[in-house]
Amino acid sequence: MNKTRVLDILFLFFLTPLLVSCQSLPPDLTAQDSHRVILVTVTDAEARPAIRRGFHPSDYDLSQTTHQLLEQISSEYQLTRINGWHIKPLNAYCAVFSVDSHSDLSQLLGRLNEDNRVDLAQPMNIFEVQAIHSSSGYNDPYFSIQYPLHTQDVLNLHQSSTGKGIRIAVIDTGMDRHHPDLSGQILLVKSFLSDDMALSGKFDNDIHGTAVAGIIASKSNNAIGIVGLAPSATLLALKACWQTRSQEIPATCNTFTLTKALSFAIEQSVDIINLSLTGPRDPLVAQLIQNAIDRGIIVVASKAGPDDYIESIDGVIAVTGDSEFTPHLSVNSPQQNYLSTTPGGGYDYFTGTSMATAQVTALVALLKSKLDAESPYGNVQLKVQQMIKNQLARIQ
């Protein structure tokens, strides 16, 4: 066989699978009509392929048994499978289906949840971040105005802990990785939006995540800008939300992107998960949050009202500005005028429970870092929850 023939065969061998894979790229679920999309999880604990080089479609690691089961469900319920992924912490596979416009969604979900082959069937829910630009007009990026009347209290806190050794998963929009106050503070970056996988400029231009990150872990002693409440903590920037309008702070995510980010954070064994967002009750989100808590991960989340999904999840630190809310553990934190980072190296004031949540997350990082140092083999989760309210009062 001559050299040219060998090259032809090698070309076909390697290129053909690549072309097939590219043709089956998953659709952008952020653009789907969420009212006609459902999630179905099934048990999938069988062994999967070990080789993962190159691009693979979303069901590449799906076991044959589970693949056949999903095909049966798709056929029997007249569904179209459009995406899916393996949720390792739950030993489950979550399939995303589109539903025919003539089907009754409520009845369909009821039938699926009665099907013994199905672990869970639910709608694709939408979650929203909780922040707006403050109208105070201040733009002086100084530590002395960042914590008005409590600058010394923050300095006192930093004498005992700055959050060193704590890894925080910020599940949010993207954030400005190159901001002078955030550069070097971000350990890992990952997007769960199919149109953002290249981490293009859209990731760095996102406002909400940049502000949340700045409150938590802006650099200290760099002679510019502000100081995060936990400046020695490191961040995992996990983009699950997208801005609804360019150059504006409102952003949303859905069950698909949020649960993928939660699953990834759990797999990374982070110390804290920050969820500066809120939304409806969501069974799959609740399962993953409970899984994280059971593993010793502290979850801090915004709470904008008594009907938020957080209410049903025991162990979550829910941050609210209204003391009338009574979840399992509620922290009342001020919502107004947080000075933080903005894309492009700037600073601005922000208002909302999203920012209050970031402050509580940073405070949890300080406490956990201190307690870990004192009791490295102890479970500090309960101790942090007991201490958080008293410590927060010192910087408000």
Summarised one tens digit per residue, pLDDT across range 333-344 is: 555 688 999 999
Could you give the C-alpha distances from 214 to 227, 239, 271, 301, in angstroms and in order?
8, 16, 18, 17
What's the total number of domains in the chain? 2
Active-site hit among 44, 59, 119, 172: 172
191: confidence class by pLDDT, cuts 50, 70, 90: very high
Are 77 and 181 members of one domain? no
Crossing angle of helices 255-267 and 283-294, rounded to 10°? 10
| Whole-angstrom distance, CA of residue 114 vs CA of residue 133 | 46
Considering only residues 270 and 25, tell me which one the structure prediction assigns the higher pLDDT: 270
Q: Would 15 be classed as within a structural domain?
A: no
pLDDT digits (tens, 9 = 90+) for 314-366: 888 888 765 443 344 555 555 568 899 999 999 999 988 899 899 999 999 99
What value does the mean pLDDT of the chain take? 79
Q: pLDDT digit string (tens) for 155-169?
A: 888 888 999 999 999
Q: Residue 105 is part of which domain span?
A: 24-124
* Residue bearing the bigger pLDDT, 50 or 165: 165
pLDDT at 18: 34
The yes-or-no verdict on residue 26 having pLDDT over 70 is no
- What is the mean predicted confidence (pLDDT) over 189-194? 90
What are the tokens at 366? Answer: 């300080």
Say yes or no: 133 and 92 in one domain: no
Say what the pLDDT of residue 382 is: 57
CATH of residue 88's domain is 3.30.70
Same domain, yes or no, for 247 and 340?
yes
Q: Which two three-digit tokens encode residue 307?
A: 């009907």
Same domain, 108 and 132: no
- The answer on pLDDT for 35 being more than 60 is yes
Q: Within a domain: residue 8?
A: no
pLDDT at residue 194, as a whole number = 76
Q: Is 204 a residue of the active site?
A: no
Q: Is residue 1 part of a domain?
A: no
Looking at the domain assignment, is residue 31 inside a domain? yes
Residue 321 inside a domain? The answer is yes
Query: Is 16 domain-assigned?
Result: no
**Band of the pLDDT at 24, cuts 50, 70, 90?**
very low
Most confident of 1-5, 112-116, 155-159, 194-198: 112-116
Catalytic residue among 58, 86, 161, 208: 208
Please determine, for residue 308, whether its predicted confidence score (pLDDT) is greater than 70.
Answer: no
Can 104 be counted among the known catalytic residues? no
Residue 153 a catalytic site member: no
Clarify whether residues 232 and 337 are in a common domain: yes
Tell me, yes or no, whether 116 and 156 share the same domain: no
Tokens 């097939």 sit on residue: 20
CB 355 within 8 A of CB 335: yes
In a domain, 10, yes or no: no
**98, 124, 150 — which closes off a domain?**
124
Query: Domain check: are 306 and 356 in the same one?
Result: yes
277 bridge partner residues: 129
User: 94, 124, 154: which is the final residue of a domain?
Assistant: 124
Q: Where are the beta strands (DSSP E) in the chain?
A: 37-43, 79-87, 92-99, 120-123, 126-129, 132-133, 167-172, 186-191, 234-239, 242-243, 251-254, 272-275, 277-278, 298-302, 317-320, 330-332, 338-342, 346-351
Contacts of 279 (CB under 8 A, 6+ apart): 125, 126, 127, 128, 285, 308, 309
Q: Are residues 111 and 149 in the same domain?
A: no
Whether residue 197 sits in one domain with residue 108? no
Annotated active-site residue in 161, 232, 333, 354 = 354
Q: 209 with 351, same domain?
A: yes
Rounded to whole angstroms, the Cα distance separating 391 from 364 reads: 9
- 143 shares its domain with 73: no
C-alpha–C-alpha distance, residues 396 and 393, integer Å = 5
User: Which among 179-183, 348-352, 391-395 has the top mean pLDDT?
Assistant: 179-183
Summarize pLDDT for 280-291 with one digit per residue, the tens.
Answer: 889 999 999 999
Residue 31 has pLDDT above 80, yes or no: no
Report the CATH number at residue 188: 3.40.50.200
Q: What is the separation of C-alpha 382 from the centre of its chain, rounded to a whole number of angstroms?
A: 23
